[in-house]
């Protein structure tokens, strides 16, 4: 029997925008600069375990060859409580744009991430014109709890990472009874919790190396190609009137 048209069973698609996976695009030349990682933490307390965990992650990431910056949320206004030109908002957005991967570390409060953590994420825009500042960046999520181990905050941050179109790595860290896990110098003690933090940082670095050069291709979508083509056709049509 003659071979049927490859698109005969896909009548709802536009063949001009339905591309086969390009293996060469998935394996572009590898950038050699250090992976750029931004860390956000979600507490302003004088003794903040999320901040201590953020600094512990920073040390590990630097050991794994990354360039790391930590954003201090002190002075960041509430979302929509100040203009976008506010210096702390601009600092956060510039760091987010600079980064190729991020780590979000939040305490769990009332069974959720902290408001300070959410405010930072809310100030990072999903889109600026045609640019999506977080799309294709890698993300690791961690939380600290005052009581028994929970995963409420990391689960919420995973949802936000997906909404921000980030590549959220499979591993995560949840440190229970965080007040027991740090010494008087603010360093994390050896434990299974610390081992998991090492795992998360190591995995984030691997995923960042793996995806950062191909992130534009990985996030190239059929629906958006088709939408952009339709917009172009409408603009051309208007010019011809």
Query: In which band, very low, low, confident or very high, does the pLDDT at 102 lie, cut at 50, 70 and 90?
Result: very high
pLDDT > 50? residue 2? no
pLDDT > 80? residue 6? no
For residues 75 and 113, give the distance between their C-alpha atoms in angstroms, rounded to a whole number.
Answer: 19
**pLDDT on residue 132:** 82
For residues 127 and 119, give the distance between their C-alpha atoms in angstroms, rounded to a whole number.
Answer: 17
**The total number of residues written for the chain in this structure:** 241
For Cα atoms 189, 209, 43, give the angle at the middle one, nearest 5 degrees. 40
Collapsing DSSP to helix, strand or coil, 65 comes out as coil
For residues 151 and 142, give the distance between their C-alpha atoms in angstroms, rounded to a whole number.
Answer: 9
pLDDT > 60? residue 4? no
Strand spans (E) along 18-137 = 36-41, 67-71, 101-109, 112-113
The tens digit of pLDDT for each residue in 52-84 reads 999 999 999 999 999 999 999 999 999 999 999
pLDDT > 70? residue 103? yes
For residues 104 and 147, give the distance between their C-alpha atoms in angstroms, rounded to a whole number.
Answer: 20
The number of angstroms, rounded, from the C-alpha of 51 to the middle of its chain's C-alpha atoms is 18
pLDDT > 90? residue 192? yes
The tens digit of pLDDT for each residue in 121-178 reads 999 988 777 678 899 999 999 999 998 899 999 999 999 999 999 999 999 999 999 9
The tens digit of pLDDT for each residue in 199-220 reads 999 999 999 999 999 988 888 8
Pick from 142, 145, 194: which is nearest to 168 by CA?
A: 142
Pick from 80, 68, 62: which is nearest to 41 by CA?
A: 68
For residues 161 and 104, give the distance between their C-alpha atoms in angstroms, rounded to a whole number.
Answer: 10
The tens digit of pLDDT for each residue in 11-54 reads 888 888 888 998 988 899 999 999 999 999 999 999 999 999 99
Least confident of 48-57, 181-190, 221-230: 221-230
């Amino acid at each position: 029997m003659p071979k049927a048209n490859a698109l005969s069973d896909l009548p709802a698609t536009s063949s001009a925008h339905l591309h086969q996976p390009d293996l060469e695009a998935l394996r572009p030349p590898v950038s050699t600069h250090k992976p750029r990682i931004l860390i956000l933490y979600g507490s302003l307390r004088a003794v903040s375990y999320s901040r201590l965990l953020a600094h512990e992650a920073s040390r590990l990431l630097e050991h794994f060859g990354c360039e790391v910056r930590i954003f201090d949320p002190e002075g960041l206004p509430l979302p929509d409580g100040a203009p976008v030109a506010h210096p702390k908002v601009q600092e956060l957005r510039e760091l987010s744009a600079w980064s190729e991967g991020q780590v979000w570390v939040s305490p769990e409060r009332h069974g959720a991430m902290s408001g300070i953590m959410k405010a930072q994420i809310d100030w990072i825009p999903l889109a600026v014109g045609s640019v999506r500042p977080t799309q294709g960046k890698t993300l690791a999520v961690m939380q600290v709890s005052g009581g028994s181990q929970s995963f409420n905050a990391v689960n919420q941050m995973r949802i936000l990472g997906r909404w921000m179109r980030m590549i959220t790595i499979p591993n995560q860290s949840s440190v229970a009874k965080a007040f027991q896990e740090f010494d008087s110098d603010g360093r994390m003690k050896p434990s299974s919790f610390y081992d998991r933090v090492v795992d998360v940082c190591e995995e984030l670095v691997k995923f960042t190396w793996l995806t950062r050069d191909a992130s534009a291709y990985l996030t190239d979508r059929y629906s958006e190609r088709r939408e952009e083509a339709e917009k172009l056709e409408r603009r051309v049509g208007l010019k011809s009137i």
